[in-house]
Amino acid sequence: MNNWLNLAGRLLIALLFLGGAAQKFTDPAPVQQMIAAVGLPVSLVWPLALFNLLASIALLTGPRVRTVALVLAAYCIFTSWFHWQLRADPWQVTILVKNWAVAGGLLVLASAGPGRFAR
């Protein structure tokens, strides 16, 4: 049962990153605005989109799920910085906390490992 739960958890987390990749590829403007707001080049949206896509695939298939989970946890914590707009947009606080929660789940995955259903 644990292996199936692990696979289901990896699938759900992977869907989050897959959705992030799709959003960045199809409508990059919102992410480019956030990137520009902190003084970074807007062209970073493309490597970020690719990173999200590859990360989602890696979470599902492995190998190195533990390492991928640690990298993604750090990514979630780092990207929280873009959502630290407490007064400007209260909805961003929800996204910030969601990023922390996902990072927590990824840390648990890094600890538990991929289970039986990964290469």
Model confidence pLDDT, tens digit, residues 14-57: 999 999 999 999 999 999 988 898 889 999 999 999 999 999 99
pLDDT class of 88 with cuts at 50, 70, 90:
low
Task: Note down the domain range covering 97.
Answer: 2-112
Per the CB < 8 A criterion, the answer to whether 14 and 59 are in contact is yes
- Non-local (6+) Cβ contacts of 33 within 8 A are none
pLDDT of 93: 81
The answer to whether residue 58 is domain-embedded is: yes
Query: Taking the model in full, what pTM does it have?
Result: 0.87
What's the number of domains the chain is made of?
Answer: 1
pLDDT at 91 over 90: no
Query: Per the domain annotation, does 78 fall within a domain?
Result: yes
pLDDT at 45: 96
